[in-house]
Structure 1
Amino acid sequence: MPPESNVAEAARSQLAAVVGRPRAYDGPRTNARPAAVLMLFGVLDSQDSGHEAMDAAVSRDLDVLLLARATTLRSHPGQVAFPGGRIDPGDADVVAAALREAREETGLDPAGVEILGTLEQIPLDYSRHLVTPVVGWWRHPSPVHVVDVAESSAVFRTPVADLLNPANRGSIIIRRGGQEYRGPGFLVPEGDGHQLVWGFTGMLLDGLFDRLGWTEPWDDTRELPLPLA
């Protein structure tokens, strides 16, 4: 295996190759509320994954920044998410919005983040948001933590190899009103327990991993239980 610095650069190059140029934001064009999330990848200083990914570009210390929303929030309480939120009138573009939200939620220094590009905008009908995922590379990582306990209960950097590990993958199935929602789920270690990544965040990770060619065969018939509310 090549030196870790070369492996990390290979992962960064692959990410940069699958994203588009950052989108300009010139105000809302629909009734949807514009929002942005930051999908920030980097290299861990410690706590590498115990899983060796099939793709050589995914080193054991490649990671992505996530947070757990506070359980007291009205919207998606307790769910794992990317830093992000609505675009404010003072934000220059979606990149500025994603970096501002990440700084407000995790305390990171935006100066250490290299923006690689954006993914396609995703409409969320149930919340009437139009979300632009912004993909970044953490050139100079800074300490992160929960800034506001009313917004987040945890901030953590998860090894990508743990997310790709088939043993940590499964499907989330919600049956309600005669309808069934099925989506990807990731069960990953965090602190003394585990965090379940699903919903919008799980969908983004699943789609990006497929696009990168990083996905490993996993059992989509395995059902992961949702945490008790």
Structure 2
Amino acid sequence: MTAGWSEDRLRQALTQASGPSSDYDLNPDPAPEVSLRPAGVLAAFHEDDGRLILTKRASGLRHHPGQIALPGGKVDPGDADEIAAALREAREEVGLDPAQVEVLGTLPPHRTVTGFTMTPVLGIVRGQFAARPEPGEVEEVFTLPFAHIAQPANYRVEGRRWRGGWRRYYVAPYGPYYLWGATARVLLQLARRLDP
């Protein structure tokens, strides 16, 4: 299948079956038995051409500094669910008005090594969007083309030493942006659904 953008392709991808994923999928050590915190991230594609909104986290942050991420975060007590958390966080992190987002549905959750069960929320951004990065949290807001996100061949496995051992993870670099880890994994899950 080609990598051309269409909302119908995104909707169709949500009908494809797949199970949950995990940062432990590519590694031999079992996931530890811990209580996982729910989180939601927003995979927001613009209606015009399918470009995906991503952030580069601020380099001064304690957790995941400088990493490429989908807007999102943990579910707060005031959030109805992971979808509400993803929309709230997208407003806070990049200035995306929830009224501009048509939520299509969710992908199966992804378990992170940092103790979250992260639910990817797929949505379409309607109308003009001028990003406003959250000071101190987001260094940059940028977009990647749908064609890059939608092709499973753009993802590969890499590894590095982490906490005394080797960890393997997916990457999908694009120009100066090193897309990797949980973000790359959930987008690969989507790419596989788009190209069954």
TM-score range, shorter chain: 0.7 to 0.9
Match of 1:68 in 2: 56
Deviation at 1:11, TM superposition (A): 2.7
Deviation at 1:167, TM superposition (A): 8.7
Equivalences for residues 1-229 of structure 1 within 5 A: 8-18=6-16, 31-44=35-48, 61-124=49-112, 126-148=113-135, 150-163=136-149, 169-176=155-162, 179-189=165-175, 194-213=176-195
The alpha-carbon deviation at position 162 of structure 1 amounts to 2.9
**TM-score scaled by length of structure 2:** 0.79
Q: Which amino acid aligns with 1:211?
A: R
Deviation at 1:180, TM superposition (A): 2.5
Structure 1 partner of 2:22: none
Q: Could you tell me how far 1:84 is from its partner in structure 2?
A: 0.5
| Paired amino acid for 2:160 | I
Opposite residue 195 of structure 2, the aligned amino acid is G
Q: Which portions of structure 1, spanning 4 or more consecutive aligned residues, are displaced by more than 4 angstroms?
A: 164-169
Q: Which of the pair has the greater relative contact order for Cα pairs under 8 Å at 6+ separation?
A: 2
Question: 5+ unaligned residues in a row in structure 2: which ranges?
Answer: 19-33
- Superposition RMSD in Å: 2.6
Aligned length, in residue pairs: 178
Change (3 A) 1:35 1:13: closer
CA–CA distance in structure 2, aligned partners of residues 166 and 211 of structure 1: 9
1:199-221 CA-to-partner distances (Å, cap 9, x unmatched) read 1101111111012217xxxxxxx
Measure, in 2, the Cα distance between the counterparts of 1:138 and 1:18: 22
Which of the pair has more CA radius of gyration? 1
User: Where does structure 1 lack aligned partners over 5 or more consecutive residues?
Assistant: 21-29, 45-60, 215-229
Identity of aligned residues (%): 40
Cα drift, residue 178 of structure 1: 6.5
- Cα distance, 1:183–1:80 mapped onto 2, change above 3 Å: same
